[in-house]
Amino acid sequence: MTRIIAGEFRGRRLAVPADTTRPTSDRVREALFSMLGSRMDLADLRVLDLFAGTGALGIEAVSRGAASAVLVEADRRAAGILRDNVSVCGAASRIRIVNRSVESFVGAPAGPFDLVFIDPPYEVSDDEVDGIVANVAAALGPEGWIVVERGRRSREVAWPDGLELVTSKQYGDTTVWVGNRI
């Protein structure tokens, strides 16, 4: 069961599409938002959640005060469940769902965004993730942050010029890298 941890939508359960997504665990999300909350004020941020799946990261950010979120999910079935999850939280006015590939979206992303989550399926290569980070960096606001969640065997993100690693944490089989604009 995936649920919203804190904020306005606290305790709301999110549906998970069978076999098409790997939702960020509640434990990792709680630790991630605690870490982010100690470094920034989430209030009024513009959030981008790539490979949104259930929408747990983007919805959690809005629940904790972000002004808006764009959730990008290529899988049609997962996007339908994502719409249901946004509706259950009553957040349709603050969350926009984009049902297309991340690669096509980041080719010309709308922005700017203050906080970007990149949580691709583990089979997406490290080089592909580096390309996504480089493309989305152009849509990052002046004090923007990027969070990349990967399997623990993945190599560190190659941060493009203008971005630097702030911290990384490992949670079981998951590694999270957090970078920001310098």
> Which SS3 state, helix, strand or coil, does residue 143 take?
strand
Could you count the other beta carbons within 10 Å of the beta carbon of residue 93?
Answer: 8
Both structure tokens of 118: 């990149």
Rounded Cα distance between 1 and 181, Å, is 34
What are the sequence ranges of the domains in the chain?
A: 2-181
pLDDT in tens, 139-170: 999 999 999 999 888 999 999 999 999 999 99
Question: Which of these, 11, 113, 120, lies nearest to 60 by C-alpha position?
Answer: 11
Give the pLDDT of residue 122. Answer: 81
Contact 141, 113 (CB under 8 A): yes
- Length of the chain equals 182
Question: Which of these, 81, 89, 83, 80, lies nearest to 61 by C-alpha position?
Answer: 89
Rounded Cα distance between 71 and 56, Å, is 10
Right CATH for 2-181 from 3.40.50.150, 3.90.1170.40, 3.50.30.40, 3.40.1280.10: 3.40.50.150
Give the pLDDT of residue 88. Answer: 94
Rounded Cα distance between 44 and 174, Å, is 28
H helices of 107-181, where? 126-137
Q: Show pLDDT as tens, one digit a residue, over the chain (182 residues).
A: 788 999 999 999 998 876 656 677 778 889 999 999 999 999 999 999 999 999 999 999 999 999 999 999 999 999 999 999 999 999 999 999 999 999 999 987 678 999 999 999 888 999 999 999 999 998 999 999 999 999 888 999 999 999 999 999 999 889 999 999 98
Contact 47, 61 (CB under 8 A): yes
Give the pLDDT of residue 20. Answer: 58
Enter the DSSP assignment of 20.
Answer: T
